[in-house]
Structure 1
Amino acid sequence: MPDGEGGGTGSGRAAGAGAITEPAAEPAGGPGPRAAGEDAEGRSGSWPGEALLLGVRHHGPGSARAVRRALDAARPRTVLIEGPPEADALIPLAADEDLRPPVALLGHAVDEPGRSAFWPMAAFSPEWVAIRWALEHDVPARFIDLPAAHTLAWEREADEDTDSEGAPPGDDRDPGSRADLRVDPLATLADAAGYDDPERWWEDVVEHRGPGRRDPFAPFTAIEEAMTALRDTYGAAGGERDPVREAYMRLQLRAAQREFGEGAVAVVCGAWHVPALRQKVALTADRALLKGLPKVRTDLTWVPWTHRRLARAGGYGAGIDSPGWYAHLFAAPDRPVERWLTKVAGLLREEDRIVSPAHVIEAVRLAETLAALRGRPLPGLGETTDAVRAVLCEGSDVPLTLVRDRLIVGDVMGEVPATAPAVPLQRDLDRLQRRLRLKPEAAERELELDLRKETDAERGRLLHRLRLLRVEWGEPAVSRGSTGTFRETWRLRWEPELSVRVAEAGVWGTTVLAAATARAEADAVAARGLAEVTGLAERCLLAGLPNALPTVMRVLADRAALDTDVGHLAQALPALVRSLRYGDVRGTDTGALTDVAAGLAERIFVGLPPACTALDADAAEEMRRHVDAVHGAVELLEEVAGPERGTPLHRRLRDRWRAVLRVLSGRDGVAGVVRGRAVRLLLDGGEVERDEAARLMGLALSRGTPPADAAAWIEGFVGGGAGGGLLLVHDERLLGLVDGWLTGVPAEAFTDVLPLLRRTFSAYETGVRRTLGELVRRGPGERGGVPGAGSGTAGFADDLDAGRADAVLPVVRLLLGLDGAQRDDNDNQPAATTGQRQRPAGNDNRLTTTTT
């Protein structure tokens, strides 16, 4: 069943594809009613003198082995396979050694690449085995399912009808899929055999049957009889699509029989369709069903697929629960249990778990014993999993989860040769991946880049350009070990549906650079808010798109001039400043950004004080976040500005911002949380002394201040994850003011301010909260063992002990990974580290040293 992925709606592989199976044992009484002897060409078995219909379960290794045995015995002159006929030209590529399953046929509408469908095939898929057999024996192979041109057009009409009826957009349920059946054929057959688990029944009757059978056609004869009985009992019940698909298949079968002879054609299709193909239907009736079908222009190609996407958990309608296990059964027909448990042991050893050969031997014995107790011919996945849990995992489900993820499902990813058809953008991406040695992989991995190296810088630009094109191959992650701007960390994982995204992005250009540039320009023009444009400017710098910047900057200047909302301006400024910082490390000219950022900052400085008055609680909290963002941007703007880029301008912006903070800290109409945060920022920046901060806190917590406003001031001053807990630990006067205010809050008001206070103090680390509790319990000036505690000051000695402070510097440098040659290199340090300023000796150096 083709898988509906990525913006497209997948039609289903044969309606019964994911559910219909073959019985393993031969029917009682011999090979069946169509038994025949050897014909003139030396073929033996029970193949009659008519079309050989091989009903299979898609992605079933037992079906795949049975198909090969049947084809070897029958030696047909042509093989017809369920699949889109537009892909006939792609069949010869299956002989290329660079085309390695799992792969999928990807069909998409030429004018609407996002509308797509997949036809996946694994090494153990009967369709793939049939294709390979035909190529090895120089026999023509053809696909005979309904053309993708009709399937994709039909899906579009279905989506339009569904949306017009009020169903949620994006509902890609296939109206002809097995989801619409009243009965699951696999479960029905399993239930008839006395099994409560269809997968266990499938293993017993198909996967565990030996290859030595007199008649290789007997299983298909039996399964045809079973499917005929099911369809007679329950009806077709596959939706409106199945009769149309089966009519098209019958037409193709008739054409092949006329060309090659009635007894020279073999058909490999979903077992559910076999009775319909055997049925005698008038030619005019089949043509009538196909008359007037919608149609769109389509392109098809091979794309890599993964075992994970074959699993049902991935949303694939004809999927299986354990593709890794089935691949193992197909590749290791002899002693599969022993080989499987050896694989599991190897995986667990790689994860540093102790697994000896004795463990493997005992696990094999346990699996065989469980199979005997449960009446199974051989241990299946259930028995081996139970044995792994009990013996190799010592009863724990944690390592068993790893086994399921890595082996039972697996991260195997197929490969497609460069000669496969592809849109020009895909070819350019393939070329870049090879040149930069970035191989797409199904397993998730981290990639750390040092942007000072040319290859890593190009890798980073490629990943950022793909993100602009909505091809989410890489996701930015937090760098470990270094936080300099020259570091980037990506989490990479290639999913098959990204091939659809690449096809969609092909409308923007034939190369990744051209397409990303065109997409960025279009996004800038279509952006709804100023913050979107500034974020886009940042992404253009990260992606190295100099040709897109003029358009983005023009739109940015126009939006900034017209937007009067201070909140919007405050949201836009940080992205601009980050762009300046990234431009430095990437060697990008950011002069135009500097002017826009400076103008934006000036407008924020003018409009922020009035915007912070008369706010409710939610609006005040949002404005507090804007103040934090602007403060960080101004500090970073000063940091990235060098002498050659107008230091006076940036110093003036810094001074203007601190003047704005002073206004916010002292204006009564400003929301309490904003006033508290302004005082805290001034204190951290060395612009107010601790005595002044204590005075302002005392005013904010005076008896004339409503308790809710006072609690909001405390939230702004010591909340929000700004290290307020440590500030209270090391400054007993501030702690005493908070404690005194809290004990004086009237009982009737305490309940109202409690949620805000809990939010403020619950953000502190456990150790900080414990220390604050001890300080409050002991009372002011009673911190034992701390020099200067009895003086009633901030908990320190009267003067800074320079010797003790210098003693910690080597340890700090060691923790930060700084050697002697890097101590003065502040350009590549994060703002939180290099943005700290030296404060006057004897005053704020104590707080700075403690915070550091």
Structure 2
Amino acid sequence: MTTEVDRTGTGPLLLGVRHHGPGSARAVRAALDAARPRAVLIEGPPEADALIPLAADEHMRPPVALLAHAVDEPGRSAFWPLAEFSPEWVAIRWALDHGVPARFIDLPATHTLAWEKEEPAEEAPSEESSSEEAPSEGAPAEAEPAEAEPPDEEPSDVRIDPLAVLADAAGYDDAERWWEDVVEHRGVGAEDPLAPFAVLAEAMMALREVYGSGGHDRDLVREAYMRLQIRAAQKEFGDEVAVVCGAWHVPALSERITVAADRARLKGLPKVKADMTWVPWTNRRLARASGYGAGIDSPGWYGHLFRAMDRPVERWLTKVAGLLRAEDRIVSSAHVIEAVRLAETLAVMRGRPLPGLGETTDAVRAVMCDGSDVPLALVHDRLVVGDALGEVPPDAPAVPLQRDLDRTQRRLRLKPEALERELELDLRKETDAARSRLLHRLRLLGVPWGEPVASRGSTGTFRETWRLRWEPELSVRIAEAGVWGTTVLAAAIAKSEADAVGAQALAEVTALAERCLLAELPDALPTVMRVLADRAALDTDVGHLAQALPALVRSLRYGDVRGTDTGALAEVAAGLAERIFVGLPPACAGLDADAAEEIRRHVDAVHGAVGLLGDAPAPGHGDLRARWRAVLKVLSVRDTVPGVIRGRAVRLLLDEGELEPDEAARLMGLVLSPGTPPGDAAAWIEGFVGGGSGGGMLLVHDERLLGLVDAWLTGVPAEAFTDVLPLLRRTFSAYEPGVRRTLGELVRRGPGQRGGTAATGVGVPGFAAELDQERAAAVLPVVRLLLGLETDDVELVGVAR
């Protein structure tokens, strides 16, 4: 292949750049100021030409990205991110500021998206493999095909990184450091602003003579389309046209290839209908570590280099000092001065023209962080990468669902932010309740802007805590969800109904019902409840029913807090509970250890659910709590039920006051008798005092039970002890350290010396044998205050209980 870069002043001005390179951006601005072209052509999807004027809007704040998505498949999308230091962004702004037409000339997105659909296994070029190419770049407006054949050329299958090759030739082992030295740290030549582009084009031409397309086969198609667009612009504006593109493409765009050959290469390209818009982007998405390789590891640092033309190192280290001071680290002006000196010294020792990110980072670590990488990680996160989130004008094209979300966000004063933050909501306040509804509805739509987390300091159902973080990919999720409706509410209702019909398991439907209540979607509940009732009627697996019941009962509580009518939900929950009551005892027979443990967890969950369900009974279903206690009594004495379940049933009955302590001690004594296999006895103990149910405190306060366990354990035969020990160890290791210490102390004292009921009759230390009326009465004013009572009719028995 013979190519020649035009240096004669005729033909288009080809400005080869590195995408997201501040040095390239400054050089582009200087070259455009010097050349004053009549039109600026930019590598990018031509469908976005109508969006270019929005770049001058006062509400536009980079980083932003052009988003293209297939109309029929919104999930099929591509991004073209731009930062303030991107050469393409600088070219766009220069053209708008000077009243010069600006156009995108890369292959249309309509072909790019179709290409990805037909060849999903082949990835589009990314900056991870070609440092001067933006990932997802690729594919703009269609050209008219001709009958001529494309040139006879075999694309290379070796994918190369041009910058890495040039860096290696210059003796660098790091392409980023080489680029900083030769481009980012040099000033724009005042005498000849076009000189940097000529040198870079010559280097790329040499590489392409050796490597051909460099393994980027699609580049040949893209370059053919760009050549056609350049020719069309030349017909309209003459040769006074500037082209801003990846440096890798410059030799190909200056190559002399016939129009017929270029059109032939474009013949038969697949296509889909595509829409485009601007979306906010983030610095973290400009970094490779985010999973989207845009070619730079340090967007915050590059943004600083672009803005700080004068004394960038001094300004950067001053900024670092300010951040560390804000985190209460002692950093003085002297630290900044010493860090600057150290960075400059390191640059000289390493043969660099100016200190780069590596030198400044080493200086910060040594001078400001006392050699620690902990504060240095904060500097990297906040400054080197940064939390910048771009903004786009409100009148930018968007799907109706996105516009409704934008309006709702403004109304609720819930602005998207790139930095992760926690949001505390009090559902008793209308604004907070509306925020909660919005976040829950978005989660139903598959837009996880917020993630629910445990609330600190409150366990009330009126309190919610969310962890919020806006990611650019959520714009694609919103476009995908647009098929369900034009508003967040309508889309959430439609998708919930569809999810209910398509759910495979009963637990999925109950979880969906819970989420519908949280999102306050009463219009979706009839469909969800009908599906739930049908699935519950057909499902005979007690485990599935037990999994489904807790979510339904929680939904009743949520509905109560949000003022939602949950009558139908209560009816289904009560029916589900009755089926569990009937099916649970037979389901507990003949279980192995793993299955028994699973049923034990289901028993715990159902017990808690029935306790809550009893507060809102469904008409016609009687006293569910009493019926559940009857089921527990059956489980506690049936020999065919595994020991872990029998022990848990006894414990739950004891906690409910349905079983006297003497009877519980008798049942424990029976199971710990010599006639019971040690393994079964250990499983019973696991069910009775294990599972994180407060069993440790029960043993501390009731020494009769502790004495039974102690006596049984000391009597276990040596040959069975090794089988019993792992189960007991698992049971007691779940206790709090303080509880374990107390139990150990009580066992160490031995029978008759523990101060317990069995020994002395005076109870456990700290607990009297009878209620102290005078001390109990002292707490009555506090109890009245907590309960909001104005009278003194608080029963002392209730307080003691």
Same fold (TM over 0.5): yes
Deviation of 1:640 (Å): 4.9
Return the alpha-carbon distance in structure 1 between the equivalents of residues 327 and 762 of structure 2.
Answer: 55
Mapped contact 1:176–1:240 kept (Cα < 8 A): no
Select 2:78's aligned residue among 102, 117, 133. Answer: 117
Return the alpha-carbon distance in structure 1 between the equivalents of residues 200 and 88 of structure 2.
Answer: 17
Aligned to 1:713: 684
The residue type equivalent to 1:496 in the other structure is P
Select 1:415's aligned residue among 382, 388, 391. Answer: 391
> How do residues 43-442 of structure 1 correspond to structure 2 at under 5 angstroms?
48-159=9-120, 162=121, 173-174=123-124, 179=129, 181-261=158-238, 263-442=239-418
Alpha-carbon RMSD across the aligned residues, in angstroms, is 2.4
Q: Secondary structure at the match of 1:516?
A: helix
Aligned to 2:663: 692
Map Cα deviations across residues 204-229 of structure 1 (whole Å, 9 max, x no partner). 11111123531101100000111111
Deviation of 1:329 (Å): 0.9
Aligned to 1:43: none
Return the alpha-carbon distance in structure 1 between the equivalents of residues 87 and 536 of structure 2.
Answer: 61
Matched, 1:742 2:707: no
Q: Secondary structure at the match of 2:229?
A: helix
Give the direction of change, closer, same or farther, for the CA distance of 1:605–1:336 in structure 2 (3 Å limit).
Answer: same
Mapped contact 1:733–1:794 kept (Cα < 8 A): no
Matched, 1:549 2:528: no
Aligned to 1:677: 648
> How do residues 303-702 of structure 1 correspond to structure 2 at under 5 angstroms?
303-640=279-616, 652-702=623-673
Map Cα deviations across residues 801-845 of structure 1 (whole Å, 9 max, x no partner). 3445566788xx7xxxx99265569xxxxxxxxxxxx9979xxx9
Mapped contact 1:581–1:640 kept (Cα < 8 A): no
Map Cα deviations across residues 566-617 of structure 1 (whole Å, 9 max, x no partner). 1111111111111111111111111111111111111111111111111111
Q: What is the total number of aligned residue pairs between the two structures?
A: 767
Mapped contact 2:776–2:796 kept (Cα < 8 A): no
Return the alpha-carbon distance in structure 1 between the equivalents of residues 786 and 779 of structure 2.
Answer: 19
Return the alpha-carbon distance in structure 2 between the equivalents of residues 318 and 745 of structure 1.
Answer: 66
Select 1:820's aligned residue among 762, 765, 785. Answer: 785
Return the alpha-carbon distance in structure 2 between the equivalents of residues 494 and 725 of structure 1.
Answer: 44
Return the alpha-carbon distance in structure 1 between the equivalents of residues 726 and 656 of structure 2.
Answer: 30
Mapped contact 2:283–2:387 kept (Cα < 8 A): yes
Mapped contact 2:777–2:796 kept (Cα < 8 A): no
Return the alpha-carbon distance in structure 2 between the equivalents of residues 824 and 229 of structure 1.
Answer: 88
Map Cα deviations across residues 418-448 of structure 1 (whole Å, 9 max, x no partner). 1100000000000000001010000111111
Return the alpha-carbon distance in structure 2 between the equivalents of residues 568 and 35 of structure 1.
Answer: 76
Give the direction of change, closer, same or farther, for the CA distance of 1:587–1:614 in structure 2 (3 Å limit).
Answer: same
Per mean C-alpha deviation after superposition, the further-off stretch among 543-552 and 748-757 is 748-757
Return the alpha-carbon distance in structure 1 between the equivalents of residues 229 and 113 of structure 2.
Answer: 20
Return the alpha-carbon distance in structure 2 between the equivalents of residues 388 and 281 of structure 1.
Answer: 53
Structure 2: gaps (5+ residues)? 130-156
Return the alpha-carbon distance in structure 1 between the equivalents of residues 486 and 439 of structure 2.
Answer: 17
Q: Secondary structure at the match of 1:721?
A: coil
The alignment's TM-score, normalised by the length of structure 1, stands at 0.86
Q: Secondary structure at the match of 1:441?
A: coil
Mapped contact 1:108–1:117 kept (Cα < 8 A): yes
Aligned to 2:138: none
Mapped contact 2:757–2:764 kept (Cα < 8 A): no
Return the alpha-carbon distance in structure 1 between the equivalents of residues 259 and 76 of structure 2.
Answer: 32
Matched, 1:752 2:752: no
Deviation of 1:789 (Å): 6.6
Q: Secondary structure at the match of 2:216?
A: coil
Deviation of 1:457 (Å): 0.8
Mapped contact 1:305–1:413 kept (Cα < 8 A): yes
Per mean C-alpha deviation after superposition, the further-off stretch among 178-187 and 481-490 is 178-187
Q: Secondary structure at the match of 1:447?
A: strand
Structure 1: gaps (5+ residues)? 1-31, 37-47, 163-171, 826-837
Mapped contact 1:732–1:792 kept (Cα < 8 A): no
Return the alpha-carbon distance in structure 1 between the equivalents of residues 588 and 789 of structure 2.
Answer: 39
The alignment's TM-score, normalised by the length of structure 2, stands at 0.92
Q: Secondary structure at the match of 2:771?
A: coil
Per mean C-alpha deviation after superposition, the further-off stretch among 227-236 and 432-441 is 227-236
Mapped contact 1:64–1:129 kept (Cα < 8 A): yes
Q: Secondary structure at the match of 1:490?
A: strand
Return the alpha-carbon distance in structure 1 between the equivalents of residues 360 and 670 of structure 2.
Answer: 72
Return the alpha-carbon distance in structure 2 between the equivalents of residues 74 and 787 of structure 1.
Answer: 99
Return the alpha-carbon distance in structure 2 between the equivalents of residues 743 and 389 of structure 1.
Answer: 59
Map Cα deviations across residues 302-343 of structure 1 (whole Å, 9 max, x no partner). 000000000001122333100011111111111111211122
Return the alpha-carbon distance in structure 1 between the equivalents of residues 71 and 390 of structure 2.
Answer: 25
Return the alpha-carbon distance in structure 1 between the equivalents of residues 302 and 254 of structure 2.
Answer: 30
Give the direction of change, closer, same or farther, for the CA distance of 1:789–1:269 in structure 2 (3 Å limit).
Answer: farther
Mapped contact 1:86–1:147 kept (Cα < 8 A): yes
Return the alpha-carbon distance in structure 2 between the equivalents of residues 292 and 35 of structure 1.
Answer: 35
Aligned to 1:22: none
Mapped contact 1:67–1:126 kept (Cα < 8 A): yes
Give the direction of change, closer, same or farther, for the CA distance of 1:174–1:591 in structure 2 (3 Å limit).
Answer: same
Identity across the alignment (%): 79
Return the alpha-carbon distance in structure 2 between the equivalents of residues 787 and 350 of structure 1.
Answer: 59
Return the alpha-carbon distance in structure 2 between the equivalents of residues 226 and 600 of structure 1.
Answer: 74
Mapped contact 2:52–2:92 kept (Cα < 8 A): yes
Matched, 1:727 2:703: no
Aligned to 1:4: none
Deviation of 1:792 (Å): 8.1
Per mean C-alpha deviation after superposition, the further-off stretch among 415-424 and 392-401 is 392-401
Per mean C-alpha deviation after superposition, the further-off stretch among 384-393 and 463-472 is 384-393
Return the alpha-carbon distance in structure 1 between the equivalents of residues 338 and 651 of structure 2.
Answer: 65
The residue type equivalent to 1:438 in the other structure is L
Mapped contact 2:106–2:225 kept (Cα < 8 A): yes
Q: Secondary structure at the match of 2:24?
A: helix
Q: Secondary structure at the match of 1:114?
A: coil
Mapped contact 1:176–1:239 kept (Cα < 8 A): no
Deviation of 1:387 (Å): 1.4
Mapped contact 1:178–1:238 kept (Cα < 8 A): no
Q: Secondary structure at the match of 2:614?
A: helix
Return the alpha-carbon distance in structure 1 between the equivalents of residues 514 and 397 of structure 2.
Answer: 35
Return the alpha-carbon distance in structure 2 between the equivalents of residues 405 and 805 of structure 1.
Answer: 55
Per mean C-alpha deviation after superposition, the further-off stretch among 688-697 and 70-79 is 688-697
Mapped contact 1:134–1:140 kept (Cα < 8 A): yes
Q: Secondary structure at the match of 1:300?
A: strand
Return the alpha-carbon distance in structure 1 between the equivalents of residues 341 and 613 of structure 2.
Answer: 68
